[in-house]
Amino acid sequence: MIERRPFEKLGKSNHGWLNANFHFSFAEYRDPARVHWGALRVWNNDRIAPQSGFPPHPHRDMEIVTYVIKGAITHQDHLGNQGRTEAGQIQVMSAGQGIQHAEYNMEQAETELFQIWILPNRQGVPARWETVQFPAQARDGTLVPLASGRGHKDAIPLYADGALFAGTLKAGQSIRQTLGGKPAYLVPARGKIEVVGQDGKSVIANARDGVAVIDEAEIELKASEDAEIVLVETDKLN
């Protein structure tokens, strides 16, 4: 099963400084049919105005991945971690036994990012924060695991039964991704792609559309425009 979830039909919230779109139920947006996808709980597309951001707030028992599309986000938390994550990087925060953090766009232009929450497979782990630069060229023509609870080499570790992949395709390129029937959710950060299932049926996804996939051994991704793709694969929840 492959289902397109158009960007224009996602949940929305605009606070002036924050223009957010929600792929799953979040904040004031509630949809009982879109609470999670496997262990994937949250996928927000946030646009944050310059010199603004999220003041200190708590999290607990959640794996939180921030994928920066453009601009940069500056993080600080009660553990003393502080750092700036820019386009081409991700940051991972294990909320675990509890963390209080703030995130600000300290830049002179808008920052856009995906904030992705994955349900952990362990409760009460030590809270942590990490950011890593991944060479852009390493993602050309392929999907690379950037954060993973499955032991992928060089990926930031997650306390979760899942992995986040990202990559870029030139117009006309295609790749295959093995899923083994597990739940997967993907979003083109830019560009247009076709997602083809094992039976040959497909959907067309534009930039920021969501695509929910399940019970597919493998999918093929075909780029009709230069595209940047983020994909999360997780186990099914019992």
pTM for this entry: 0.96
- Domain membership of residue 83 (yes or no) is yes
Q: For residue 222, which phi and psi values (nearest 5 degrees)? A: -115, 125
Burial class (CB in 10 A: 0-12, 13-18, 19+), 6: exposed
Are the CB atoms for 38 and 164 separated by under 8 Å?
Answer: no
State the CB neighbour count (10 A cutoff) for residue 154: 11
Give the contacts of 60 (CB within 8 A, at least 6 positions apart).
Answer: 95, 96, 97, 98, 99
- Domain membership of residue 238 (yes or no) is no
Give the per-residue pLDDT at 135.
67
Beta bridge partners of 203: 195
Interatomic CA distance for residues 40 and 236, integer angstroms: 9
- Domain membership of residue 221 (yes or no) is no
- Domain membership of residue 198 (yes or no) is no
Q: How many domains in the chain?
A: 1
Give the per-residue pLDDT at 154.
87
CATH number for the domain spanning 115: value is: 2.60.120.10
Beta bridge partners of 236: none
- Domain membership of residue 179 (yes or no) is no
User: Taking every pair of C-alpha atoms in the chain, what is the biggest distance, in angstroms?
Assistant: 51
Beta bridge partners of 165: 145, 231
- Domain membership of residue 64 (yes or no) is yes
Q: In 3-state terms, what secondary structure has residue 208?
A: coil
- Domain membership of residue 222 (yes or no) is no
- Domain membership of residue 68 (yes or no) is yes
Give the per-residue pLDDT at 133.
76
Closest to 69 in 3D by CA, of 49, 86, 48, 52? 86
Q: From first to last of its 238 residues, what are the pLDDT tens digits of the chain?
A: 999 999 999 999 999 999 999 999 999 999 999 999 999 999 999 999 999 999 999 999 999 999 999 999 999 999 999 999 999 889 999 999 999 999 999 999 999 999 999 999 999 999 999 988 776 667 889 999 999 999 998 899 999 999 999 999 999 999 999 999 999 999 999 999 999 999 999 999 999 999 999 999 999 999 999 999 999 999 998 6
Question: Residue 97 belongs to what domain range?
Answer: 11-134
